[in-house]
Structure 1
């Protein structure tokens, strides 16, 4: 039996050999650390991670009056991946959507799209729960002071309705900063540079965490060890592992190791591994999603996500190899990413496709201004100039644009069955960018029940006092996640897990 005297010593530099040893030791393995725990402090609820999920949980758990809530963030800034994402949120029946006259949407319609995207692998009851409570997530944001773009509600890839709204500045930081302000104002304590080295267990129940405080990523020689008792529960909201190259290679050897990643540097997944060591059940760990809106001309998340939200709707993408379209530009992420990555030179190196739309339709749009300023896109004055700049056969490119314009006029795409309702007749000057997918989201993680309770691998029953939400969980979306649904999931599950924790404490 695992006691609270036992520890698994984990570092940030996890090797493949170390991973193999960890997976075979089992949750009840003997350990060499037998010293009695001396608690440095006691709180009621510990939340690991400060993104959408962690901060939603912090606000909502605190409002349940369950005692002291402590948020631990590994990095030197709050927000994690959430702070640098595009600020998109899919909300059926949101006020902007209704004002636009889109009255035929519903939570069931969103779930239908997600089931299709998940390719038979999604957790339908979980998706239904999240979608049915989506307006609660919207209300949480608005009541916390989050501003959304006035009149902005669009249909994004894989969705059958226009239901995606966006924050005022086009970044998830618009949400994380406001939730953090509310959490702190209402009494939640949040700490930076707190690396969780291990869970402290007693008879299969998590009772606290071993933390390296004042840690400076990625130097494991920094910080001081503290033991924090969590008398009522620990909520895991630490995100995925897309920046952990060893784990990526282990779980999905087919994933191109040269692909860039949109995630913050701290998305390395060590807390997930710790939970697995203590018996938590992982699911879908090999399902690692790429974002088809990446640009090879900028690092990390960048502006391409925002710019291509115009391109995929209004413009088109062609291969530099033959000047022809090669995909439905409005399909889901997996479909588009796979189509884009087929564009390769004979030696296997990427032949970056180009994607473009009319410059004069958006000359002052901040997405265009920023992309041109940062040189991840170019203003090109003619088809001839575009063909020359990107070494594309001019005649083939002209033919493809003419064919696209015919499809726009007919409102029908016989090549890829793309929905053409927002497509525009293309004429120069153009805004042109190169595209190539980036590793973006881990579909896999810890399996939970509908309430966010982490399930044990041996019994498939909840592990006492241990909860997980957001990208630290797995099995919710299936093979691929639709755009603008992660923020929704995180915010809603922060609400749900607070209710679960309160219910569990009532007995």
Structure 2
């Protein structure tokens, strides 16, 4: 009996000790865990408005990030996937934003930070993870394709689709983490003479008039043969985008400055998202690979100077792409390369912001020049008149001006330029005003007719938040918000409304006068010019073949889009770019595949 009791007591003590040890272990974990495990919600503000996320935390570690909702531009939203991978792999918010996606990156990180705050934590409380770097040695990869396209913007994708349709094996290289380039962030309006909407509205137009407008708008510095190809094929390009690629065009036209008549088609949503999303879908349908984060670095030539391939760098690979047929350069202009801008035009320095994608750094131009390609018009750099004074971003709010509904004034409340004038003329006029800014006034009926809330609601939210746009019941109240001379502004409005009644603007000869400005509430936007388009680039012929400095064709090399020069002259008319990239992108793809 005594032995049994002793045994029982021993067992009880051992079990008790084990239990105590277990409890101490739990308590120890709790004491070393700074953040309570769970799923927490956070909200940030991106370019498209609110970004909402759910962040899962376990053992002081971010184990998952789910994007619940957002309204970021397709393509730019991939930045959130990239950042999610970086944050989770490092368990830290000290990560680099995604190039070209600053607003989205900032908004996403803001949302994750807010989720940590909801957990009662700060980023510093996350468990430190030692991320050891790899050897840094990249895998060497060699591939052969019929055609390599450099650049996945509107021109590059047009070229790739046409080349593939002609039976070629095509691959597209894009250095940015998203496809689209400047096309994606543009309004993507498309100048097409004799289009179907003009016929419905009874607007008389012609190919010759489009050529005349383009040459005149470019100060007669453009290559007339290239301009003729542009104008003669613009309508077919718009129909191809509609019928073959699936682009939806709105049932309305825009009247861009410098054009004699209203001839510019508008894509659904008045945004390049319609163009790029449909082109990417078509490319996927046709099994055309698009390699993102893959930067072309050099053109490969044979002993005769023919281009036979491309060298490129990926995140973990070095590529050699050999070609059976050709390389097509469609890598865009150099509007975001300040050093290159200043080299060719010292006036366009770092003090001038840019509307361009951060990928617009002139890489294709440099590569082509290194193998003897001729460049043309590099000094011609265009600014866009209505841009964000804080970032340089082109403002879609400007649609209202293109529909003819706005009055543009200075700080003194006076008009100083035709609202539908050439972009360069308007930009220089704005730079000459107080503060180098202008103010765009719009009334409620113009606001509704321009579909600003419908098409660009997130941008409006951004503008209100940053005091760049005001909505007020009276013109005086709106003027006072920006310190504009309200008395003079009212006089200007009254005078302008009189011009509407007379059907003529004797001051600035505004070429479209659709409506008065008199129905409240009233809106005023503050804006400034920014670099928008580089007219210069690689010299091509009408077949989109690249020419050398002696005027000879460089075999195996084609180019299309803003990377080329000679098509727009000294200045580009609004909506000519989409026609340009489509027409010459198609020509490059068709000819390269032969």
TM-score above 0.5, yes or no: yes
Structure 2 Cα separation of the partners of residues 45 and 368 of structure 1? 43
Residue number in structure 2 paired with 1:342: 432
Residue number in structure 2 paired with 1:165: 265
Residue number in structure 1 paired with 2:437: 352
Structure 2 Cα separation of the partners of residues 206 and 361 of structure 1? 53
Residue number in structure 2 paired with 1:246: 339
Query: Pick from 340, 361, 364: which aligns with 1:268?
Result: 361
| Structure 1, 186-195 or 477-486: larger mean CA deviation | 186-195
Structure 2 Cα separation of the partners of residues 230 and 136 of structure 1? 29
Residue number in structure 2 paired with 1:494: 585
Residue number in structure 1 paired with 2:149: 47
Query: Pick from 399, 412, 420: which aligns with 1:306?
Result: 399
Query: Are 1:106 and 2:199 matched, yes or no?
Result: no
Structure 2 Cα separation of the partners of residues 117 and 343 of structure 1? 23
Query: Pick from 404, 407, 418: which aligns with 1:328?
Result: 418
Alignment check: 8 A CA contact 1:233 1:466 kept: yes
Displacement of 1:286 after TM fit?
1.0
Q: Which has the larger radius of gyration?
A: 2
Q: Against the structure 1 CA distance between its residues 318 and 272, is the aligned structure 2 distance closer, same or farther, given a 3 Å change threshold?
A: same
Query: Are 1:461 and 2:563 matched, yes or no?
Result: no
Q: Against the structure 1 CA distance between its residues 360 and 304, is the aligned structure 2 distance closer, same or farther, given a 3 Å change threshold?
A: closer
Displacement of 1:108 after TM fit?
1.5
Structure 1 Cα separation of the partners of residues 399 and 351 of structure 2? 23
CA deviation profile, 1:179-207 (whole Å, cap 9, x unmatched): 22222222322211111111111121111
SS at match of 1:119: coil
SS at match of 2:355: coil
Query: Are 1:391 and 2:483 matched, yes or no?
Result: yes
Displacement of 1:259 after TM fit?
2.1
Which protein has the bigger helix share? 2
Alignment check: 8 A CA contact 1:307 1:368 kept: no
Alignment check: 8 A CA contact 2:538 2:564 kept: yes
Alignment check: 8 A CA contact 2:327 2:558 kept: yes
Query: Are 1:451 and 2:552 matched, yes or no?
Result: no
Q: Against the structure 1 CA distance between its residues 212 and 173, is the aligned structure 2 distance closer, same or farther, given a 3 Å change threshold?
A: same
Gaps of 5+ in 1: 1-37, 215-222, 345-349
Residue number in structure 2 paired with 1:124: 224
Structure 1 Cα separation of the partners of residues 274 and 532 of structure 2? 20
After TM superposition, the score normalised by the length of structure 1 is 0.84
Structure 2 Cα separation of the partners of residues 296 and 308 of structure 1? 18
Alignment check: 8 A CA contact 1:381 1:430 kept: yes
Alignment check: 8 A CA contact 1:114 1:477 kept: yes
After TM superposition, the score normalised by the length of structure 2 is 0.72
Displacement of 1:492 after TM fit?
0.8
Structure 1 Cα separation of the partners of residues 509 and 542 of structure 2? 36
Alignment check: 8 A CA contact 2:392 2:530 kept: no
Displacement of 1:474 after TM fit?
0.6
**Bigger relative CO (Cα 8 Å, ≥ 6 apart):** 1
Tell me the matched-pair count.
446
SS at match of 1:325: coil
Residue number in structure 1 paired with 2:162: 60
Residue number in structure 1 paired with 2:299: 199
Alignment check: 8 A CA contact 2:247 2:278 kept: yes
SS at match of 1:314: coil
Query: Pick from 447, 466, 474: which aligns with 1:382?
Result: 474
Displacement of 1:170 after TM fit?
1.6
Gaps of 5+ in 2: 1-139
SS at match of 2:476: helix
CA deviation profile, 1:236-262 (whole Å, cap 9, x unmatched): 000001111111111111125222211
Structure 2 Cα separation of the partners of residues 84 and 224 of structure 1? 29
Q: Against the structure 1 CA distance between its residues 354 and 178, is the aligned structure 2 distance closer, same or farther, given a 3 Å change threshold?
A: same
SS at match of 1:386: helix
Alignment check: 8 A CA contact 1:284 1:475 kept: yes
Residue number in structure 1 paired with 2:461: 373
Matches within 5 A, 1:51-90: 51-65=153-167, 67-90=168-191
Residue number in structure 2 paired with 1:96: 197
Displacement of 1:427 after TM fit?
4.6
Matches within 5 A, 1:215-294: 223-294=316-387
Structure 2 Cα separation of the partners of residues 145 and 426 of structure 1? 40
Alignment check: 8 A CA contact 1:86 1:305 kept: no
Which protein has the bigger strand share? 2
Alignment check: 8 A CA contact 1:315 1:423 kept: no
Alignment check: 8 A CA contact 1:372 1:378 kept: no
Residue number in structure 1 paired with 2:566: 475
Q: Against the structure 1 CA distance between its residues 97 and 497, is the aligned structure 2 distance closer, same or farther, given a 3 Å change threshold?
A: same
Structure 1 Cα separation of the partners of residues 484 and 393 of structure 2? 27
Alignment check: 8 A CA contact 1:156 1:309 kept: yes
Structure 2 Cα separation of the partners of residues 281 and 210 of structure 1? 21
Alpha-carbon RMSD across the aligned residues, in angstroms, is: 1.9
Structure 1 Cα separation of the partners of residues 261 and 339 of structure 2? 38
Residue number in structure 2 paired with 1:188: 288
